[in-house]
Structure formats: structure tokens, C-alpha cells
Chains A and B, each alone.
Chain A
């Protein structure tokens, strides 16, 4: 313990911290490019978006120091309390929050907005790590699986009420944590096939997908029975229920899509699936973002030389669409470099997590990776036109104090836990 007090900086994983600094500073440069106007180029002008982001970045320093100087045992011991605290904040925002863009996601403290859902991810990861690191905990038991699901989806439920579906989606990433700790791939396959069936049904209509799914299922069944010669020993009730659930699901999706979803919700799917070609209405953002990225070419137009960025062609370019700025001004070179940086960061955290001797730290590390990974997939996928428009920030890049602090907290708690392992034994 004496070592800890003297050498905290020597025990930190500087590779991760370096990656963090790279991402945050490159992020700020892009925010500067996206939000500076022709007349405001002064870096220290704090009334501008890039000026404010500069303050947010500076404020991460006390946050980081505070996070690092707390005892690593603190996080383990107080995780439940922090989790409950974040639940209270999430519930409270529904009552006291401010409605912006149709979602009640923000607290307003004298002009400073705070978004509790950005912090609850870290605390959920802590709580989940705490729950699963218990020696009595066995993930094979359905009872324990349900416990884990409750921990994960309770905050997601509150966020869904805001409603902020993009953030809700992030909570599904905790599947990777569960998988690492022994949950079988069944759930994953189930989840993926659900999404695939969902999209296919929307695109091709209920009847066709219903018929083809059932025929494919039947063919697969026949194939398996032919191969294994155990036709009689099939678990018939499960098969029958499987058929019924599949059919019901497809019918329900088809019905919901055609009869319940509102037009603007349908539009998002339709644009993604290429059913409608819309460059001015709902698809305007995506269309402009894609065009902006394309115009960057291989080397990009250079810092502050992206004329589409400077001309404010892409709405919300400094928040959810920040990646399009990278694409235009830094080209394929810069944008693939950002993706590579994120990949290296994720691999580094996995590598560190696997080294943890303490189960709590390892589970938490996986939580960090899963959350960051999902954010990057969803955000970048949306900007480059591979996923529908789902508004969530790009970690460390997007403008906004809450998200920057949320991700900083998430990452540096892990760095703190990791620093501890080296002298724990």
C-alpha cells in the first residue's frame, strides 16, 4: 500500500492514456473545424462551441485526478451505491429534466446541462462487475442470468422513458460481458437472428418472409434429422413452440411496421433499406454526411479547408456527425486512422482486462470495451450510411460535456483498477 501512494503514475497504463489524449485532442480539432465560423476563429472564445468544449476538456483533468486518487477498493465497495445514485438521477430527470429535441434527457443547473444517461453507463458497468464477481455467482443459473439482466436493463428502462433509444441500444452491448463470463452464444444468435428477421420483414413484407423462414427452418430440421438419424428423439414441444414464436414475431413486426409505427419512424428504416431515396427530408443529414465524407478523397482537404464543413452543410456536425468532418478534412487517411485508434484502444483494454487477477476489474474492463465498441459501431455506421440514423455520440470526439466526462470516467476508473493489480500481489 505504501507503493501505491508513492508511485501511482508509474503504475498507470500510459498507452491507454496516450490513446485517450490523442482521441480527445483530435476530436477537439474537428469540433473547432466544424463549429468555428468565418468571423469566430479565436480559440479562447468561450461563447463558441469549440471554446466550451475546451473548458469541458480542461475540466476532465480534476475529474481524472479525482478518479485516480480514489482507492480502487472504493469502486468495488461503493458500486451498488453509485448504481442506485445513477438510477435516482435517471428517474429524477423524467420529473425535473428539460425537454430538448423531444427527449427529457437533461438536467439544467443554471445554464449548464447535464445528461445523467452518459454517466449511468459507467455505474451500470460497475454494478454488473460487482454482481458477477461474487464467488457465489454462477451465470449458468437462470436466476442469476435474470439478476444480471435486471441490473443492465433497469437504467435502460428509465432511459427509454426519456425517450432516448440510441442510449438504450448501448445497454445491449453488455451481452459481450456476459458472454465473456460464460453466457452461451445462444442469446447472441437469438438476438442477431431477431434483428435480421426484423429488417427482412420490414423490407420484403410479412408473407414472403414468413413462408421462407418456415421453409428454411423445416429444411434445416430435415437436414439435421437426416444427418444424425435421430428424427424420433427430437424435442417436439420445443420445435413446435419455436415455429409458433417465429411466426408470431414476424407477423407482429409486419403489423407493427405497417399499422403502428408513425411515418417518421418508418422513414428511418426505409431510407436505410433503400426503399425510398430522400435527400431533403429525414435523409438529408445522412445524405449530406455521406457526400461530405466522399468529397474528402484519400488525403482530405486539410484542416479547416473542408468547404462543406465550413459551409455548414451537415446539420449537427459537431455532435453526432463529427466523423464526417474527419472524413472531409482528413480524408480516407484520417478517418481510417481514427477507426484504427479506436480498435487499438479496444484491443488494449481487452488485453489489460484479461490480465486482471481480480474478477471485478476484468468484468468491468469488458464493460468498458463493450460500451465504447457499441458507440463507435453505431455512430460511425450511421455517418457512413451503413446503419439507420440513431443519435448517439462518438466517444471522446463529439461535442458535449456530459458525454466527454461520462466516457472519461468510464475509462479512467478502469485505468485506476488496472494500476492497482500491479502491486496487489
Chain B
């Protein structure tokens, strides 16, 4: 080896590596670099109309209005007469410096929003004056307008794209509007359309000298698509009215399609407050309200024990598993003893002492003993607790409980349907059906959201199947073709088991707990519930007033409407949830409500005192803790 060869080889090697790297960077990766993304080209955006949103009857829910933002490109802002500009924009000098620095920190060479949504009356004068200030200009933008003060939780709102999103996205820029909640968020891509771009060359003094490459890269704005929701806005508004002064949710589903007719959460807010200059102050208030929690959609996210309505599902599983039939009788002596110890006794208020109770009566009178017995039989059927329990669990889950339903709104909760593994992890000892006997009456570990309950009700009304609930009916007047929403989902219960249960549910409104909420001419089937609830304060269990709950569908034959109503701390299901349900059904099926006195009572009924009392309770305990 010649002595000079080491250096020669190294020079050759490194030369090849470097040229190879340059080839990779410039020729291979260089293709992906967008030549337009540069300083000499100015981009002007043309923002398209965002899609309108209608209800199922074609009533306009969300429209657009114009708004004007003052934009700045910090690098270009030179020799600014700050005082004059501050005067023009009606801001202080400190405010000017703060806003300018914020824009500079984002990117010196990219546009940032300097002042949002200038008042319409200021716009004309500003437009005239602003050309004096290099780097500043006005950007026309389209913001939302809500003709009806309703359904804020469904419609959602728009918000600004933040810095992080803007940097990660190749579409959005800092300060542009994007759907942040509700339908606006879930259907952002459909609603927003595509913004148009016009490219201009600019010269050294930043003047536009003409279109870039004769406009060959320019694109036209594409309008957003209109959405038609499954919501019946009249029913929605009526539901919101009925829920005034209460906390909770109403979910109404059309059983034959899975379309969500109403999705009320209370308390809610006026969607128009999330638009315009008042927005920032209002949204701060909105999101920091941890007491009323108006941004928490109780219909979708609220998890509660299902209570008595859950007994229906247990009855159905019992029939399916053939551990009972409609003639099977159980005797109740004021409760159900499931063990020898004194506390191993579940009390029952059915009031039928020592006489045989059969399925129909058990549902109508909500007998705890009956369903405890059924539950025990289901779990112990095969002799193996775990496989029996897993079988029960999967049958319950076939009603859409225990997991996200897959509807087209961005928030939700899984709820909980435990399986054998769950209790294995929880208990170190061998557990049996009696260990979690509360599941029989919907009070144990079971947790559901109101929309899950409404969906399960729809499945009962359909006698064994449901369609995934959804909120959008059509996009640009074309029916949605999402296979997720048009596929029939079967429950594990055979059709022949349903009529008995449905008769029993009808009995509830004829002679049972719902009898005071009958509507003339409509056969309502339902089941009330009263759910105990506790909160843990300083590790101590504190009982709060019961939740009022009800599931129902109507009419009995060929059901048009299935629903779940939940009123937090509303006491007995029959006192608040049942009247509200019957009013909703009457409104939807008859178009008008004749029972004005009940209607008035429900609208005016406020649980504020109960909630305030709770607040005092929590507060006082918290002060003690401190």
C-alpha cells in the first residue's frame, strides 16, 4: 500500500458520501419542497363559506356572517407610526407591543392575527387607513351565526387554530377557525370546504407586482358542505325548556333508523355567545364553571348507574338463557336474602308480600327480589360462576352498553359492564353471584350513559336490534352512506322474548310508577328508576339525593320514539323523569301538548335549592379539610 493512499481513499470516500447526501437532499427530497413556500411569493387566502347546518325538517340551525381580522406579518412591519395605529385600532401601546411580540414569536415571516373580529362599523375606515402601515392588512373571515338559541352541545363551536396545531398541519394557519366541539369538530372536513389561494410576486419594496407564474398555482375556494342533522329542533328546544332549572340529559332516538332526534344536556348555553368579540370572555366563564359544568354533555358523557330500567335487560337475558319463563314465580318477603349474615339482605319495596310474582308484575312493580333471583340463576346456570358471568356480560354488551357506541360526535364515555376478569382483579377471594348481586337491579358496578340507555331502549322497541345512533342525516342533501350507521346490529336476545317485556313496560305506564304520566291515545312503554348515588368526601361515603331516571318508547306497536331521561338528584323517577318523558312523547307524536298544567309545572320546577345545598355540603367539608 502506497503511503499516500489512505488520504486519497478517504477524500474519494467522503466526496462520494457528501455528493450522495446532496443528491438525496436536493434531488430526491427536494421534489417534496414546495417552491411556493417562500418569501418572495405572497399568498392571499380566499376563505370559503362554511357549510350550513339544518335540522331534520330543513330548519336552519347554523349560518354564517362576515367578520374582519387585522393581520400582521412582523418582518414586513417597518417604520410604523405606532401611536396612530393604536388610536386607529383602539388599543393601548402596551397592548400593541404585547400583540406584536406574540406574532413575532410565532413566525416573523408568516401572517398572524393581530386583532380579532373588528367591529363592522370600524371596518370601512380601517380599510381606508391601514395601507399606511406596512405589514398590516385586513383579512375577511367568515364566522358562525345561530338563528336559534338551542342545541349548543350538539352544534359545538369554532375556535382558533393554535400555534401547535398550525405547525403540525399543512392546511391550517395560526388564528384560522376550526371546529372545536360538537358537530363542528366531528364534521370539520366536510363543513370547512377548501380555502382558495392566490399567489403573487412581490418586489423588494413588498409591493405586489403581479400574479406568480401567471396564476398557474392559484386555486379557487371550494364551499363547505351543508349538513342535515337528525335533530328535530322543535323537540330539542322543548326538551331544553323542560330541563330548565335541572341538571341532566334527555336522549331521544328514532328506533327504526338510529337517528338521534334530541340530545339535551342541562344546563347548556347560548351558542351565539361563542361568536364575535364577546367570545373570549364568555368562553373563559364557560369552561371555568365547574359547578354547573355546561360544557359537559350529560347525555353523552355522564355515567350513572342505570338503576331499575336495567332490570328489563336482566329479565331478557333470563328468558334467553331459559332460566325463567313468563310463568316462573318468585316470592318476595320485603326483600331478598342472599346469605346467612344479617346484612346479606337486599330490601324491596314492591309491596307484594308472600304472593307469587311473575315477570310482567316484577317489571311493573320493580321487584328487587325477583331480579336478584333471576340474576343468580343466570350466573349459576352452568355451574361455573366465571363463564356464567362472562355470558351474562356479553349479552348485556350486545345492547351497546359498556363501550363507545360509535356515534358521530366527538365526546363520549364507555360506561362499564364488568366481566369475570374485572371481579378477579378486584377481589382476592373467590367471588360469587351474590358478591355483586346489586348488578341485578342496576346498582352495582354497572355504569351507563343516557345515550347508551336510550339506544338499549330502541333495541327493546325494535325487539332485538338497533342501528348505531347518529346525528347527521345527510351531507349536501345526500343521505349519509356511512355503513356504520345503516347496519342492523342484533342483540343476543331472540325476538320472541320481547313481547312479554314490552307488555310489562306498558303496564308501568298503565298501572305502575308511570301511571300519572299517561297520554291519552298513546301507548307508552317505559320503566322508571331511582338511582342512589354517593360521593366520597374525605374518604367517607356521603349519600346525595337520588337521581331520577326513565327509559321509554312509544307507541307500543310500531315505535316511533325511544328515549332516556336523566335528572340529577331529581328524586323518584316517577316525579320528574316520567312527566318529562310523557310530555316529550306527546309533543313529538301529537305535535302539541294538551296537558298544560303538567307542562307548566315541569318547566317551572327548579332543583337549584337541592344543588345549592349540595354545594354547601361540599364546601363546608372542604373548609374542614383545610
Residues on A close to B: CB < 8 A? 38-39, 176, 179-182, 185, 188, 290-291, 293-298, 307-308, 310-311, 313, 327, 331-332, 335-336, 339-340, 342-343, 346-347, 350, 354, 366, 369-370, 373, 377, 380-381, 384-386
CB-based nearest A residue for B23:
A332
Please, how many angstroms separate the alpha-carbon atoms of A331 and B26 in the complex?
7
Please, how many angstroms separate the alpha-carbon atoms of A297 and B31 in the complex?
7
CB distance from B427 to the nearest CB of A (A): 41
CB distance from A332 to the nearest CB of B (A): 4
Q: Determine whether B281 belongs to the interface, using a CB cutoff of 8 Å to chain A.
A: no
Are B22 and A311 within 8 A (Cβ)? no
Are B26 and A296 within 8 A (Cβ)? yes
Please, how many angstroms separate the alpha-carbon atoms of A386 and B11 in the complex?
16
Residues of A within 8 A of B6 (CB): 176, 179-180, 185, 188
Please, how many angstroms separate the alpha-carbon atoms of A339 and B20 in the complex?
11
CB-based nearest A residue for B203:
A38
Q: Which of B11, B26, B31, B109 contacts A311 (CB 8 A)?
A: B109
Q: Which of B8, B12, B14, B22 contacts A336 (CB 8 A)?
A: B22
Q: Which of A38, A293, A311, A347 contacts B8 (CB 8 A)?
A: A347
Q: A180-B4, A307-B41, A311-B38 are in contact. Are A294 and B25 (CB under 8 A)?
A: yes
Q: Determine whether B124 belongs to the interface, using a CB cutoff of 8 Å to chain A.
A: no
CB distance from B33 to the nearest CB of A (A): 5
Please, how many angstroms separate the alpha-carbon atoms of A310 and B4 in the complex?
43
CB distance from A251 to the nearest CB of B (A): 31
Please, how many angstroms separate the alpha-carbon atoms of A176 and B7 in the complex?
7
Residues of A within 8 A of B19 (CB): 336, 339-340
Q: Which of A294, A342, A369, A385 contacts B26 (CB 8 A)?
A: A294
Please, how many angstroms separate the alpha-carbon atoms of A180 and B109 in the complex?
52
Residues of B within 8 A of A335 (CB): 22, 26
Residues of A within 8 A of B4 (CB): 180, 350, 354
Are B14 and A290 within 8 A (Cβ)? no
Q: List 30 A-B contacts (CB under 8 A).
A: A38-B204, A38-B205, A179-B3, A180-B3, A185-B6, A188-B6, A291-B33, A294-B25, A295-B33, A295-B38, A298-B27, A311-B40, A313-B109, A327-B22, A332-B27, A335-B26, A336-B22, A336-B23, A339-B18, A339-B19, A340-B19, A343-B12, A343-B15, A347-B8, A350-B4, A366-B7, A370-B7, A373-B10, A385-B21, A386-B21
Residues of A within 8 A of B8 (CB): 347, 350
Ranked 8 nearest A-B pairs via Cβ: A311-B39, A38-B204, A307-B38, A332-B26, A307-B40, A297-B30, A295-B33, A336-B19
Mask, B565-598, CB within 8 Å of A = 1, is 0000000000000000000000000000000000
Residues of A within 8 A of B31 (CB): 297
Q: Which of A297, A313, A354, A381 has the most CB of B within 10 A?
A: A297
Q: Determine whether B35 belongs to the interface, using a CB cutoff of 8 Å to chain A.
A: yes
Residues of B within 8 A of A38 (CB): 204-205
Residues of A within 8 A of B14 (CB): 377
Residues of B within 8 A of A313 (CB): 39, 109
CB-based nearest A residue for B109:
A311
Residues on B close to A: CB < 8 A? 3-4, 6-8, 10-12, 14-15, 17-19, 21-23, 25-27, 29-31, 33, 35, 38-41, 109, 204-205
Q: Which of B22, B39, B205 contacts A310 (CB 8 A)?
A: B39
Are B11 and A343 within 8 A (Cβ)? yes
Are B39 and A327 within 8 A (Cβ)? no
Residues of B within 8 A of A182 (CB): 3
Are A310 and B25 within 8 A (Cβ)? no
CB distance from B315 to the nearest CB of A (A): 58
Residues of B within 8 A of A386 (CB): 17-18, 21
Additional A-B contact list (20), CB under 8 Å, known A293-B22, A350-B4: A176-B6, A179-B6, A185-B6, A293-B25, A294-B25, A297-B31, A311-B109, A332-B23, A332-B26, A332-B30, A339-B15, A339-B22, A340-B19, A350-B8, A373-B7, A373-B11, A381-B18, A384-B21, A385-B21, A386-B17
Please, how many angstroms separate the alpha-carbon atoms of A2 and B351 in the complex?
135
Please, how many angstroms separate the alpha-carbon atoms of A354 and B11 in the complex?
16
CB distance from B299 to the nearest CB of A (A): 41
Residues of A within 8 A of B10 (CB): 373
Q: A290-B25, A384-B22 are in contact. Are A310 and B40 (CB under 8 A)?
A: yes
CB distance from A55 to the nearest CB of B (A): 25
CB distance from A211 to the nearest CB of B (A): 31
CB distance from B24 to the nearest CB of A (A): 9
Are A294 and B33 within 8 A (Cβ)? yes
Please, how many angstroms separate the alpha-carbon atoms of A376 and B263 in the complex?
68
Residues of A within 8 A of B40 (CB): 307, 310-311
Residues of B within 8 A of A380 (CB): 18
Please, how many angstroms separate the alpha-carbon atoms of A188 and B17 in the complex?
20
Residues of B within 8 A of A336 (CB): 19, 22-23
Q: A308-B39, A384-B21 are in contact. Are A346 and B11 (CB under 8 A)?
A: yes
Residues of A within 8 A of B39 (CB): 307-308, 310-311, 313
Please, how many angstroms separate the alpha-carbon atoms of A180 and B35 in the complex?
48
CB distance from B618 to the nearest CB of A (A): 45
CB distance from A366 to the nearest CB of B (A): 8
Residues of B within 8 A of A340 (CB): 15, 19
Residues of B within 8 A of A332 (CB): 22-23, 26-27, 30
Q: Which of A182, A313, A384 has the most CB of B within 10 A?
A: A384
Please, how many angstroms separate the alpha-carbon atoms of A185 and B39 in the complex?
50
Residues of B within 8 A of A366 (CB): 7
Please, how many angstroms separate the alpha-carbon atoms of A290 and B26 in the complex?
9
CB distance from A119 to the nearest CB of B (A): 24
CB-based nearest B residue for A299:
B26
CB distance from A421 to the nearest CB of B (A): 17
CB distance from B207 to the nearest CB of A (A): 12
Residues of B within 8 A of A188 (CB): 6
CB distance from A170 to the nearest CB of B (A): 15
CB distance from B5 to the nearest CB of A (A): 10
CB-based nearest B residue for A177:
B7
Residues of B within 8 A of A307 (CB): 38-41
Q: Which of B12, B26, B109 contacts A298 (CB 8 A)?
A: B26
Are B7 and A327 within 8 A (Cβ)? no
Residues of A within 8 A of B12 (CB): 343
Please, how many angstroms separate the alpha-carbon atoms of A243 and B175 in the complex?
60
CB distance from B225 to the nearest CB of A (A): 35
Are B22 and A297 within 8 A (Cβ)? no
Are A327 and B26 within 8 A (Cβ)? yes
CB distance from B168 to the nearest CB of A (A): 12
Residues of A within 8 A of B33 (CB): 291, 294-295, 297
Residues of B within 8 A of A370 (CB): 7
Q: Which of A346, A350, A384 contacts B25 (CB 8 A)?
A: A384
CB-based nearest B residue for A173:
B7
Residues of A within 8 A of B18 (CB): 339, 380-381, 384, 386
Please, how many angstroms separate the alpha-carbon atoms of A151 and B18 in the complex?
32
Please, how many angstroms separate the alpha-carbon atoms of A204 and B21 in the complex?
25
Residues of A within 8 A of B23 (CB): 332, 336
Please, how many angstroms separate the alpha-carbon atoms of A370 and B14 in the complex?
13
Please, how many angstroms separate the alpha-carbon atoms of A366 and B4 in the complex?
9
Residues of B within 8 A of A176 (CB): 6-7
CB-based nearest A residue for B35:
A295
Residues of B within 8 A of A385 (CB): 21, 25
Residues of B within 8 A of A381 (CB): 18
Residues of A within 8 A of B204 (CB): 38-39
Please, how many angstroms separate the alpha-carbon atoms of A291 and B11 in the complex?
26
Please, how many angstroms separate the alpha-carbon atoms of A310 and B41 in the complex?
12
CB-based nearest B residue for A292:
B33
Please, how many angstroms separate the alpha-carbon atoms of A139 and B239 in the complex?
97
Are A350 and B26 within 8 A (Cβ)? no
Residues of A within 8 A of B11 (CB): 343, 346-347, 373
Residues of B within 8 A of A181 (CB): 3
CB-based nearest A residue for B1:
A185
Are B7 and A369 within 8 A (Cβ)? yes
CB distance from A172 to the nearest CB of B (A): 13
CB-based nearest B residue for A342:
B15
